[in-house]
Amino acid sequence: MTITATATATGVAAVAGAHPKTGTVEIRCPDGGWLAVCGPDDLTPGRGVAALLPDGSQAALFLDRAGRIHAIGNRDPFTGAQVLSRGLTGSAAGRPFVASPLLKQRFDLTTGDCLDDPEVSVPAYGVRVRGPERKAARGAGRAR
């Protein structure tokens, strides 16, 4: 099985291809280090997982139906609640998103941009899957 990373204009890339069943999913923290979160087989397409980062913030980790892993901030900027990991996933114009379970604003899983209000965004974090034989990386995300 081959895992590849693809670049985008924002410097963020998605871990593409079928996700491996072994290894460790890691998130790039705001301080630049990597945090092991879970195994790839712990992720279910369309369902989020919340992770506590070393600085006390939270990330929402998603496996989309195309097999790409994404991580964005878990805090809904409209309500302040840590709930984006519990949102509904979908896609609009080819962009994967999660809709907040509270007020339903949609956030792009690749960039963190709000699709319903261009003035609002959440952090997008780099993600990689590390295993004994495979390594795939995603860019560091955009600082917000």
pLDDT in tens, 45-86: 999 999 999 999 999 999 998 899 999 999 999 999 999 999
pLDDT over threshold 50, residue 3: no
| Bridge partners of residue 58, in order along the sequence | 52
pLDDT over threshold 90, residue 137: no
d(CA 94, CA 92) in angstroms, rounded, equals: 5
pLDDT over threshold 70, residue 88: yes
pLDDT in tens, 118-135: 999 999 999 999 985 444
Task: Give the pLDDT confidence score for residue 14 in this predicted structure.
Answer: 42
- Distances in Å between the alpha carbon of 30 and those of 34, 42, 130? 9, 23, 19
> Which DSSP category does 87 fall into?
S
